[in-house]
Chains A and B, each alone.
Chain A
Amino acid sequence: MSALSKVDKNMRILVVDDFSTMRRIVRNCLKQLGFTNVKEAVDGAQAYDTLKQEKFDFIVSDWNMPNMMGIDLLKAVRADEELKTIPFLMVTAEAQKENIIAAAQAGVSNYIIKPFDSDTLTTKMEAIFKKLV
């Protein structure tokens, strides 16, 4: 049985991207996997405020955004006692080796390069939940 099939489908997911098109695509992909309890934020700063106000179980974030970059959001989340255990999936067009190493060092749960397909998202989420379940 897959790890994805065991997790609570009503978990709260925060999708962070400055492009609404990408937020909708990620939201739709998550819907296909059965996750419908999704909220959106337009940048890292708004995401961090939202995370401090509401409880979330999973974060999907872009890297390159105004106000607060995804990598800075990741660092802020990992440095925050209340938030540090939330799985954090980076979905980004930033595809330099340095980016991936920086994200890994900051505690990213997994990393997807844009453009991606729904199978890649499924595989990465499966890998993340396999470690947690």
Chain B
Amino acid sequence: MSPDKEHALQELVDALGKGDEGRIQELLNQLEIKSHSNVYERIGTMARELHRTLLEFNQSMSSENVTMHSTTLPDAVDKLEEVLKVTFQAADKTLNSVEEQNTILSSSYEALGEALETLKPDNIPDETVRTTLKEMLEAERERVERSLAINNEIMMTQEFQDLTGQALKKVIKLVQGMKDNISALIEIFGAEDLPPVQVAQESEQALDENKLDQGDVDSVLKDCGF
């Protein structure tokens, strides 16, 4: 396809999304598309759907993340890729902090253990002092242990980046595919059937509904002889 035609097709998609009838007609004439009202109507629906989805996406971005809201990106794919990048950076930074803190806490835990080992009558003859010190050090060691456990929870929570990242990658592919489908449809205008974009979405939904949890997985594994 020539760059001019591709540009005109992109403009047509934008005009369809905006419902700009005058511009749509101009572009249809320019592209020599004259009498395919049924396909035209269906493409219009798809384009409006895409446009509305992008608008909703923008609104949800602005309400949830101020940084992203202030970032102007040229299209939805870029925005989704930006979300992917930002969530990765956030998770990465959190993991860096957790790992650094774990190193400090582990050192403290070892030092407390060594200190407890020195609490012997030869070093501290007074039993009352020895007992008090022992209780203090043990209490401190418990607090360090608890902090390590909390850090572990924070670390495991970062799994969200992997899970949302995978979902975002699928959506990016879907949005990109939808754009490509619309361009391809207009190019071959006259084809009776539209590509099964909706069917693909429904299939994804159906797959999600069939997802198993770890308990179900263990049952299936048991059936497989595990």
Where the two chains meet, the residues of A that have a C-beta atom closer than 8 Å to any C-beta of B are: 17, 19-22, 24-25, 28-29, 32, 64, 93, 95-97, 100-101, 104-105, 110-118, 120, 127
Contact: A22 with B211, CB < 8 Å? no
Q: Report how far A97 CA is from B155 CA in the complex, Å.
A: 28
Contact: A21 with B88, CB < 8 Å? yes
Distance in Å: Cβ of A67 to nearest Cβ of chain B: 14
Q: What chain A residues lie within 8 Å of B210 (beta carbons)?
A: 96-97
Contact: B226 with A110, CB < 8 Å? yes
Distance in Å: Cβ of B219 to nearest Cβ of chain A: 10
Contact status of A113 and B163, CB under 8 A, knowing A25-B156, A96-B211: no
Question: Is B11 part of the binding interface, using a Cβ–Cβ cutoff of 8 Å?
Answer: no
Contact status of A96 and B212, CB under 8 A, knowing A24-B95, A104-B226: yes
Q: What chain B residues lie within 8 Å of A112 (beta carbons)?
A: 214, 217
Q: Report how far A25 CA is from B155 CA in the complex, Å.
A: 7
Contact: B217 with A111, CB < 8 Å? yes
Distance in Å: Cβ of A28 to nearest Cβ of chain B: 6
Most chain A CB within 10 A, of B102, B165, B207, B217, is at B217
Contact status of A115 and B226, CB under 8 A, knowing A96-B207, A100-B220: no
Among the listed B152, B166, B220, which residue makes an inter-chain contact with A64, where contact means beta carbons less than 8 Å apart? B166
Q: What chain A residues lie within 8 Å of B163 (beta carbons)?
A: 93, 114-115
Digit string of B51-66 for contact with A (CB within 8 Å is 1, else 0)?
0000000000000000
Question: Is B224 part of the binding interface, using a Cβ–Cβ cutoff of 8 Å?
Answer: yes
Q: Report how far A20 CA is from B92 CA in the complex, Å.
A: 8
Contact status of A17 and B162, CB under 8 A, knowing A113-B217, A118-B156: yes
- Give B214's nearest chain A residue, CB to CB: A113
User: Can you list 19 A-B contacts (CB < 8 A)?
Assistant: A20-B88, A21-B92, A25-B95, A25-B155, A28-B152, A28-B155, A93-B162, A93-B166, A95-B217, A100-B220, A100-B224, A101-B220, A113-B214, A114-B159, A114-B162, A114-B163, A115-B160, A116-B156, A116-B214
Q: What chain A residues lie within 8 Å of B181 (beta carbons)?
A: none
Contact: B220 with A113, CB < 8 Å? no
Question: Is B108 part of the binding interface, using a Cβ–Cβ cutoff of 8 Å?
Answer: no
Q: What chain A residues lie within 8 Å of B166 (beta carbons)?
A: 19, 64, 93
Q: What chain A residues lie within 8 Å of B220 (beta carbons)?
A: 97, 100-101, 104
Q: Report how far A127 CA is from B163 CA in the complex, Å.
A: 26
Digit string of B138-171 for contact with A (CB within 8 Å is 1, else 0)?
0000000000000010011011111101100000
Q: Report how far A95 CA is from B65 CA in the complex, Å.
A: 30
Question: Is B221 part of the binding interface, using a Cβ–Cβ cutoff of 8 Å?
Answer: yes
Question: Is B82 part of the binding interface, using a Cβ–Cβ cutoff of 8 Å?
Answer: no
Q: What chain B residues lie within 8 Å of A32 (beta carbons)?
A: 152
Distance in Å: Cβ of A125 to nearest Cβ of chain B: 14
Q: What chain B residues lie within 8 Å of A110 (beta carbons)?
A: 221, 226
